[in-house]
Structure 1
Amino acid sequence: MARIALKVDVDTLRGTREGVPALLSMLSAAEAEATFLFSLGPDHTGWALRRVFRPGFLKKVSRTSVVSNYGLRTLMYGVLLPGPDIGRKGAAEMRAAAAAGHECGIHTWDHVYWQDNVRERDAAWTRRQMQQSFERFTDIFGAAPTTHGAAGWQMNNEAFRQIDDWGMVYASDGRGTAPYIPTVDGKACRHVQMPTTLPTLDELIGVDDLTEDNVHKAVLKLTEGDGDHIFTLHTELEGGKLAPVFKRLLSGWRAQGHQLVSMATYYQHIDRSDLPQMPVTWGEIPGRSGELIIQP
């Protein structure tokens, strides 16, 4: 039986407080596992407005309603309103995900700050950002995180080394087709990368006549057969306006006979000895602006 690992990125305070509970309800009804990856520091979503000059950004946001998905208040955080501390204000919702039996891990400290800067930053900056996330996670959950999934699929070499130094044995920081061992400066990392293999809903909606009403059919077409997959969803989307789409996906995956699992469960079925070693690589993904970590 094929597995689909559900990787839930939690980017904002609104996504934590509203999207997490909504998704917990949907996952429970579908008897599905998931891995929730939390943004643990300040919500500076408004800083993302500076991406307006990035090639492809306007085209992407024109296909999805940013205001309805994220809310006007969230878009003002860091611009006209101070960025609230997600880890402090949303700790109860984070713990609820763990209490419901889902795996919890690190997404980032400051989502926009990381996504827009990490590629060019040095080791000290990278370690400081990641350590803040680690310490806050431990404060909230009383235990160290088991996994990491980078904001915006953005990393640098030092970030991959930090994952090893934390002792994590798997993470999902990029896009690709199957698990592999990343190499940094010619040296193999000790952890397995399990990349997101399926396109996200916001990458598909508005392309080739795909809408909120039929986009689930395009995703389900990609999961026909026996192959395993990792699907990334967002609390701000599938836990909000796109909840009906996600419910149709859950039902469709069950009808296809798939197990809906966490990254932890997915990893248990991986034979590390059979994995290829591949260098950290950057590239573009259809429907998403800018470069991100991809599987070569």
Structure 2
Amino acid sequence: MRLLALKIDIDTYRGTREGVPRLVEALKRHNANATFLWSLGADHTGRAIKRAFRPGFMKKVSRTSVLEHYGLKTLMYGTLLPGPDIGKRCAATMREVAAQGFENGIHTWDHVRWQDGVAQADAPWTEAEMNAAVERYKTVFGEPPHTHGAAGWQMNAHAYRHEQRLGLTYASDGRGTHPFWPVINGELVRVPQLPTTLPTLDELIGVDGLDVHNVDAYLLKLTESALPTGHVYTLHAELEGMKLLPVFERLLAGWTEQGYKLVSTGELLDTLDLQNLPYHHVEMGEVPGRSGTLALQGALFP
């Protein structure tokens, strides 16, 4: 069976409040499942302005029109405006998604703080951020989380180890080609990784003649050949749940026509032979169309 898992990263208050309900409706229209990964603390999107000094960031911003997709108010949260507490103000939305039968997990506590700070952070900082998200998740959903997908695909060694201590069933923290057991500095972490296998819309739009009218055709070309262990596509409530919803609906229809069953990452996990998954190092590296470095599936271990 051809499987394609949909992983929805939810970064902002607006994306939670407006984008998520639209995505739920679209998924139901296309008989598709998905995993929703929540930002559970304050929305401090405005603090991402310091990324303007990162190589390649302004080029990406000019391609994907951050103001158009996120809105001026969101871009002031955490600077000129106080950041709304997403987990408190949108708990009802989150619980409704669970009530609709969708899988849920943790994206982050503070998206900007994690994405910009975790790479160089020590163990206490990393664990405090993750623990805050876990406690809020339990408050919202009444049970502990079983999966995590790192904000901005940013991780460090402490985060992988803490996922194991938290008892997570699996995670989807990086980019790669197939599921694997992660090896951190020679240490096996017993939380399997289901990496994102496909490029995201914001990495593609504005590159090599791709735009909102043809980017879906490009992605569908990439999925003509199925992977033995399935594809994982990451979308964002702020993009596919808002201005790019028509593109996402064309993708859903196209993947269905290609014979894919559209599933959650948890459903994909259930099809895997975990005992025979390969071991891979994890490393930080670049991905075309995205500024900075992010977590990647590295070489086979040993």
Amino acid at match of 1:243: L
Amino acid at match of 2:209: D
Aligned partner of 1:121 in structure 2 is: 121
Give the whole-Å Cα distance in 2 for the aligned partners of 1:232 and 1:98: 19
Give the whole-Å Cα distance in 1 for the aligned partners of 2:37 and 2:196: 13
Q: What's the CA shift for 1:65?
A: 1.2
Aligned partner of 1:41 in structure 2 is: 41
1:245 aligns with 2:247: yes
Q: Percent identity?
A: 59
Alignment partner of 1:230 out of 224, 232, 243: 232
220-229 or 10-19, which deviates more = 220-229
Aligned partner of 2:209 in structure 1 is: 209
Aligned partner of 1:283 in structure 2 is: 285
* Structure 1, unaligned runs of 5 or more: none
Give the whole-Å Cα distance in 2 for the aligned partners of 1:261 and 1:50: 36
Q: What's the CA shift for 1:225?
A: 2.4
Query: Is the partner of 1:238 in helix, strand or coil?
Result: coil
Amino acid at match of 2:12: T
* Structure 2, unaligned runs of 5 or more: none
Give the whole-Å Cα distance in 2 for the aligned partners of 1:79 and 1:189: 38
Q: Name the count of aligned residue pairs.
A: 296
Deviations 1:195-227 (A, max 9, x none): 000000000000110000110001000111232
Q: What's the CA shift for 1:97?
A: 1.0
Aligned partner of 2:94 in structure 1 is: 94
Q: What's the CA shift for 1:68?
A: 1.3
Q: What's the CA shift for 1:274?
A: 1.9
Q: What's the CA shift for 1:184?
A: 1.6
1:77 aligns with 2:73: no
Give the whole-Å Cα distance in 2 for the aligned partners of 1:162 and 1:275: 21
Q: What's the CA shift for 1:278?
A: 1.3
Deviations 1:15-49 (A, max 9, x none): 00000000000000011110000000010000111
Deviations 1:47-75 (A, max 9, x none): 11110010000111110111110010000
Amino acid at match of 2:19: G
Give the whole-Å Cα distance in 2 for the aligned partners of 1:226 and 1:238: 23
Q: What's the CA shift for 1:284?
A: 0.1
Amino acid at match of 2:245: A
Aligned partner of 1:143 in structure 2 is: 143
Give the whole-Å Cα distance in 2 for the aligned partners of 1:79 and 1:169: 36
Amino acid at match of 2:81: L
Deviations 1:64-107 (A, max 9, x none): 11111001000000110011100001111111111111100000
Aligned partner of 2:104 in structure 1 is: 104
Amino acid at match of 1:226: A
Query: Is the partner of 2:220 in helix, strand or coil?
Result: helix
Give the whole-Å Cα distance in 2 for the aligned partners of 1:64 and 1:211: 10
Alignment partner of 2:265 out of 263, 266, 281: 263
Query: Is the partner of 1:236 in helix, strand or coil?
Result: coil
Give the whole-Å Cα distance in 2 for the aligned partners of 1:226 and 1:248: 18
Amino acid at match of 1:44: H
